[in-house]
Structure 1
Amino acid sequence: MKPIPLQRRPRGKKPLWREYAEALAVALVLALVIRTFVVQAFKIPSESMLETLLVGDHLLASKFAYGIKLPFTDTYLYKGDEPARGDIIIFRYPNDPSVDYIKRIIGVPGDVIEVRDKQLYRNGQPVRESYIRHTDPTGREPLRDNYAPVTVPPGKYFVMGDNRDNSLDSRFWGFVDKSAIKAKAWRIYWSWGGLDDIRWSRIGKKLL
């Protein structure tokens, strides 16, 4: 006599609401991981980086370019590149860490930075900068246009906006600590000046 096979009770199908809830939870976790460790989106609100970045540019910034830390610690999971001269970075504003700023690194630790009659000098040599803009070429203001030589301390960076006559930067509030750097600006993914002013030519532009 053949044994009678055991019959398994069919598993109940998950309710539709539960399937959607699980899919949403997975999507949220992935989004959180990507935002924490990979890339983050930022919007440009001011003119301090003209013409490199325009008001209304939306950009992606690489959060792993300078390494990945365990959340709330200084322990690196992955150590990336050191921040370099010319990098455009997003960082916590020294006077209010709840606010993010975006500027270009002009001086790295050990560099001597000076501005004379709007001309930037690094380690005693004039720096050629094709990306800068001056809106007040004849004006002469302390700090903005004539900045006494300073040496960038260890673990600090000197940053400036490309729109040199209209940028609050290290000339006014000092150095940026390495720990305050959040990401390196990477690529523009959207740009508009309004509903009827989409800047198609800027979409996808890599930031240099």
Structure 2
Amino acid sequence: MNFPLILFSLLVITGAVWVLDYFILRHKRDPDKEEPWWIEYPKSFFPIILIVFCLRSFIIEPFKIPSGSMIPTLVVGDFILVNKYTYGIRLPVINKKIIDMNNPKAGDVLVFRYPEDPAVDYIKRVVGVPGDVITYHNKQLFVNDKIVRQEYEGDYKYVEPGLGYIYSEKYAEYLGETNHSILMNQEINGLQYSSVRVFPFRENCQYSRTGFTCTVPPDNYFTLGDNRDSSSDSRYWGFVPEENIVGKAFMIWWNFGDFDRIGMRIQ
């Protein structure tokens, strides 16, 4: 379901009725008679739809986390808020940038349209910006030939639907200006080579059975999930084009199963 398109369509319809009534119909209507329902309802909903449309399109948009690819930063059931303007102002529906502001940087948690199906929204962490050389070998990340420091934080247990409890090792990863937590399962290879697809700029990457090296092309970004061994990310389907960017995730605003997560900043 393309909710932005539906919202835009409702805005156009209710707005057209409001304009038509304000400039033409109300002057012809008998003042002693009630407005017909097909004018009253659109006029009532128009300001509400306008406010919601502007908020979602240009300021903040809510999303729900559907999978465990970003555990432990984000868990299934988290409702998050995404800043829509930090990377520039974009036209709604077509997602075309009209005002340039900031660029994503390493460490940002990015919401974007999935390159293989733009109707689907994905959320991952940026590890490489245009021009960076990203190497991932035996579960160790390198950016421009510099090792990204990791510090062991202990074991971590979570529930994977259909599989039960999963035990992983939790690490602090020092990427960009801040650090964040990631999970690694030593029983799973760091790269499922058979899952690597053909994608745009595939020639920028060299793969082996234990890892890869990719040079991020202009106007593209390289992303990984924090749950490194349970994430479909740039390792497999390639780079995130700049035009696919939706915004930067910054806060958890609700979780029905864990109220303590409400209000947590996303780092």
TM-score class, shorter: 0.7 to 0.9
Deviation at 1:74, TM superposition (A): 3.8
The answer to whether 1:175 aligns with 2:239 is yes
Equivalent of residue 153 in structure 1, options 202, 212, 217: 217
* Equivalent residue, structure 2, for 1:40: 61
1:13–1:171 distance in 2 versus 1, CA, 3 Å: farther
Q: What secondary structure does 1:98 align onto? A: coil
Equivalent of residue 185 in structure 1, options 227, 240, 249: 249
Q: Name whichever of 18-27 and 98-107 sits farther off.
A: 18-27
Counterparts of 1:86 and 1:14 in 2: how far apart (Å)?
61
2:78 is matched by which residue type in structure 1? D
Counterparts of 1:15 and 1:206 in 2: how far apart (Å)?
50
Deviation at 1:12, TM superposition (A): 4.5
1:139 is matched by which residue type in structure 2? I
The answer to whether 1:62 aligns with 2:111 is no
Counterparts of 1:60 and 1:185 in 2: how far apart (Å)?
6
Task: State how 1:91-170 maps to structure 2 within 5 Å.
Answer: 91-128=112-149, 129=173, 130-134=180-184, 136-142=185-191, 146-170=210-234
Gaps of 5+ in 2: 1-29, 150-172, 174-179, 194-208
Deviation at 1:131, TM superposition (A): 1.2
Q: CA RMSD in A?
A: 2.2
Counterparts of 1:139 and 1:27 in 2: how far apart (Å)?
49
The count of aligned residue pairs is 191
1:13–1:149 distance in 2 versus 1, CA, 3 Å: farther
| Percent identity between the two aligned chains | 43
Counterparts of 1:103 and 1:14 in 2: how far apart (Å)?
56
Task: State how 1:58-97 maps to structure 2 within 5 Å.
Answer: 58-71=79-92, 72=94, 74=96, 76=98, 78-97=99-118
Equivalent of residue 200 in structure 1, options 255, 259, 262: 259
Counterparts of 1:50 and 1:181 in 2: how far apart (Å)?
21
Counterparts of 1:13 and 1:103 in 2: how far apart (Å)?
59
Deviation at 1:36, TM superposition (A): 1.1
Deviation at 1:151, TM superposition (A): 0.7
Equivalent of residue 27 in structure 1, options 36, 48, 61: 48
1:137 is matched by which residue type in structure 2? Q
Gaps of 5+ in 1: 1-10, 193-197
2:229 is matched by which residue type in structure 1? D
* Equivalent residue, structure 1, for 2:3: none
Q: CA contact under 8 A between 1:37 and 1:68: conserved in structure 2?
A: yes
Counterparts of 2:114 and 2:265 in 1: how far apart (Å)?
24
Select the structure that is richer in helix.
2
Counterparts of 1:141 and 1:43 in 2: how far apart (Å)?
27
Q: CA contact under 8 A between 1:143 and 1:171: conserved in structure 2?
A: no
Counterparts of 1:90 and 1:201 in 2: how far apart (Å)?
23
1:94–1:75 distance in 2 versus 1, CA, 3 Å: closer
Q: Name whichever of 23-32 and 97-106 sits farther off.
A: 23-32
Deviation at 1:137, TM superposition (A): 1.2
Q: TM-score, normalized by length of structure 1?
A: 0.83
